[in-house]
Structures are given as structure tokens and as C-alpha cells.
Amino acid sequence: MKVNVNSRFYKWEIILLLWVAYFLNQGDRQVFNTVLPHIQEFLGASDVTMGLISTCFNLFFALTVPFAGYFADRLSRSKIIIFSVALFSTATMFTGFANTVILMILMRSVATGVGEAIFGPTYPAIIAEYHDTRTRARAMSIHQTAYYVGVIASGFLAGLIADTLGWQYSFLIFGAAGVLFTFVLILRLKDKHQSAEQSAAKEQKPSFFEAMSAIFRVPTAVCMIFGFTSLIFVLTGYLTWMPKVLMENFSLSSASAGFNSMFWTHAAAFVGVLVAGTLSDRLAACRGGGKNRLILQAGGLLLAAPCIVLMGLSESLVVVYAALAGFGFFRAFFDANTYSILYDVISERYHSSSSAVLQMFGFGMGSLAPLILGLMSPKLGLSGGIATLAIIWVVAGIVLLVAKFFFFDKDVERLKKSKQQ
């Protein structure tokens, strides 16, 4: 069946296709965190060693993502997405056969991390191709819900599979689903036909260092990089260790800990990102324009900070669940606006590259969170380590407010002038 990329319905089919791909992307990533206690027992590894495996995943992700953004600004983005899904899904399957720490790092951290990194900076650029500023934040928000659903589903299913069949089957089943979906993407995912101006811009082929230089000359983009890095650092620490905290502190099973550590946060985030996306587009149309989105982001991080403290330190399981929900709902206000704000101040020529730079710093620094919390555990415990993460989001919220009041308008005006030249 021929694909009509100019159909008004196809721009929403794109969201559906990318939604499923992102669901698989995040599901594959969360499988490891859910079955971590099983793998740790199987390998006879310490908290520090398991933290190192998670750190290596994010480190390889961060090292690969700039190259992914560079090629996404030059080559077919749809083909890059297809290659990414095929790679990380196949690597996830082979993780089920890893029986040493080295093999776990190679399959989980290198192959899966690289595959997911290729996906990262490419999907926002495809969405931006099909959705202008009138529907972009809403489209990004709908797409973002795949993250929440993927993490919730994998948190429960991976734990259930591990408890019944063994942790290896969790990787095999999730990976196989991605391999099968690759064939759907081959048939349906297509690039949008570009205008002569867009094609000419793409033919100019900006180098990575040129893109990096262009991005760091935009103060709002620098503040966004700091905010996103703070977001990923906290999320990586939470995603890696929260299931084990629930197992240790409240004696939950793997399936229960995996489900509850992810469900309350991401179910609330699902609601939060849809609310934030709709509110964001409306606020952007009001006086103040796109800079109003920065208020949503900053407010979300600041309101989520107390929830992080309760997640780590509360002795009541009910309070922990409520804190997880608050944490998820408020952080979604950041998620819904990240790329909309970034693309408001960055030339379209650098969209994929700017996404890559954002993710390179985010996952590069965020990769350290599992290892740092593992090193802190002998003195503070994993619970105490998670609670200290709140400080990072308070600082990030303040930085985003600085961007809103001092930088955003100037950066937008500078971009408009550059387009007129």
C-alpha cells in the first residue's frame, strides 16, 4: 500500500509509528532495571558493579548520540529510525545470553546503548517535519506517553517473566517484539517531501563541530542542556535503583517492585504530559509566546523535588507511592516542552544536531548516577542517595527561570534575523 506523506492523517500515523518504536525503546531499557536483582544474584555482583553496567549503557549512549544527530541532519531519518529499532531490539535479545559481566556490558551497554542512541536525536526531527508550531508540542506530548507506558509495561512484565521463566526470557521476549515491528516500519515509515529551501539547507551538511558551536552561542539552549542533564541524572538514578529500594525496604517481589516503582510515576506522568502539552501550546499562543513553556518546565522540576525526598526517606509505602506519582506528574511538565523550546531558538538546519548535543550531555553526565549512588550506598544507603537527588532539580529549576527572564526573547529575535539574511 502506497504511503501518502502529504495526507493530513499521515502526520498522526507518524506519531503512532514512532510511539510504538519509542515504547519498545524504553521497554527494552527498563527490562534491565527491573530484573537487576536477578542478574546481580546470577553474576554474584556488587551494587557498584551493577551501577557500572548501567553507567556504561548511558556512557555509550552519550558517545554515540552526536554522530546520530550528525547523520540525521544529512541522511534519511526514517531509515535511521528503522536501523535503530532493528539494532537495539536484536541486542536486547542477545542480552539474554550474557553470562558474565563483560558480556553483559557488551550486549547491554554497548550494542543496546548504541542502538537506542541512534533513535534519540532522530525522532524529534521527524515529528518537527510533520508538525508545525500549532501542533508540535501536542504531538511531542502524545509521543512522550510511549515512554511512560513502555516503562510501566516492562516494569511489570519483565518482573513477571523473570519470576516465572527466568530473567533471560525477559530480554528475549522484549527484543523479539522489536525485531518484528521493524518490518512494519519498513513498510510505513517515510520521510516528508522537502521544499527546495529545506533540501538546500540539508545539502550544506553542517559539521558536528559547527553545530556544536552554533548551539553553544544560544544561552537558552545552554540552559536547556543543563536542565535536561539534570533531568536525566535524576531519572537514571531512580530508574536503576528504585525497584531494589522497594524490594529491600518493603520486602516486595520482583514483579511487584518492578511494577510499583514504575507504575505510579509513569501513570501520573502520562496524565501530566498530556495536560502540559495542551497547556504549553495555549500558553505559547498567548502574550509571552514560547518562553511561557520555560515556566512550566521550571515549575515542574521545583514541585517534583520534595517528592524525590519522600521517595527515598519515607517509611510508609503509601507515602512512597504518592511521592512517586507526584514526581511523575510534575516532571512531565519538563518532558512536554523540551524540544519545542529548543527548536524555538535553534535553526531548523541544526534540529537533529541540537537534539544530539542535548542528549549527549544529558546521558553522558546522567550515566554517572547509577555508579555514584552505588558508591554512596555503604554510607547513605540507596534510599538516602535517591533523596539527595532533589537538590539537582532545585538548581535546574532556577537555571530555567533565568533562561525565561533573561535569554529567551533575545535568542528568538536573533534567530529571526538570521533567517532574514
Residue 105 included in any domain: yes
Residue 217 included in any domain: yes
Residue 416: per-residue pLDDT = 85
CA-based nearest residue to 145, from 321, 336, 324: 336
Q: Flag whether pLDDT at 202 surpasses 60.
A: no
User: In the structure, what pLDDT confidence band is assigned to residue 324 with cuts at 50, 70 and 90?
Assistant: very high
CA-based nearest residue to 357, from 199, 185, 229: 229
Residue 421: per-residue pLDDT = 64
Residue 270: per-residue pLDDT = 83
Burial class (CB in 10 A: 0-12, 13-18, 19+), 260: buried
Q: How far is the C-alpha of 4 from the C-alpha of 126, rounded, in Å?
A: 16
Q: Flag whether pLDDT at 11 surpasses 90.
A: no
pLDDT mean over 242-265: 87
**Range name among 37-41, 182-186, 195-199, 277-281 with the lowest pLDDT average:** 195-199
- pLDDT above 70 coverage of the chain, percent: 94
123 vs 186: which has the higher pLDDT = 186
The per-residue pLDDT for range 14-42, each reduced to its tens digit, is: 999 999 999 999 888 888 888 888 899 99
Q: Flag whether pLDDT at 136 surpasses 80.
A: no
Q: Flag whether pLDDT at 141 surpasses 90.
A: no
The count of other CB atoms within 10 Å of the CB of residue 300 is 24
Residue 178 and residue 165 in contact, taking contact as beta carbons nearer than 8 Å: no
Residue 6 included in any domain: no
pLDDT mean over 53-64: 83
The per-residue pLDDT for range 65-109, each reduced to its tens digit, is: 778 777 777 788 899 999 999 999 999 999 999 999 999 988 887
The residue segments making up the domain with residue 109 are 13-188+206-420
Q: How far is the C-alpha of 380 from the C-alpha of 56, rounded, in Å?
A: 23
Residue 269 included in any domain: yes
Which amino acid is residue 1, in one-letter code? M
Q: Flag whether pLDDT at 190 surpasses 80.
A: yes
Strand locations in 44-112 (E)? none
User: In the structure, what pLDDT confidence band is assigned to residue 406 with cuts at 50, 70 and 90?
Assistant: very high
Residue 194 included in any domain: no
Residue 193: per-residue pLDDT = 66
Residue 194: per-residue pLDDT = 59
Q: Flag whether pLDDT at 315 surpasses 60.
A: yes
Residue 25 maps to which CATH number?
A: 1.20.1250.20
Residue 301 included in any domain: yes
Q: What is the pTM of this model?
A: 0.75
Residue 289: per-residue pLDDT = 65
Q: How far is the C-alpha of 211 from the C-alpha of 188, rounded, in Å?
A: 31
Q: How far is the C-alpha of 344 from the C-alpha of 124, rounded, in Å?
A: 13
Residue 371: per-residue pLDDT = 85
Residue 195 included in any domain: no
Q: Flag whether pLDDT at 287 surpasses 70.
A: no
Grid cell at residue 257 = 517492585
Q: How many domains does the chain have?
A: 1
Name the average pLDDT for the chain.
86
Residue 4 included in any domain: no
- pLDDT above 90 coverage of the chain, percent: 37
Cα angle 354, 212, 118 (rounded to 5 degrees) comes to 50
Residue 30 and residue 150 in contact, taking contact as beta carbons nearer than 8 Å: yes
Residue 330: per-residue pLDDT = 95
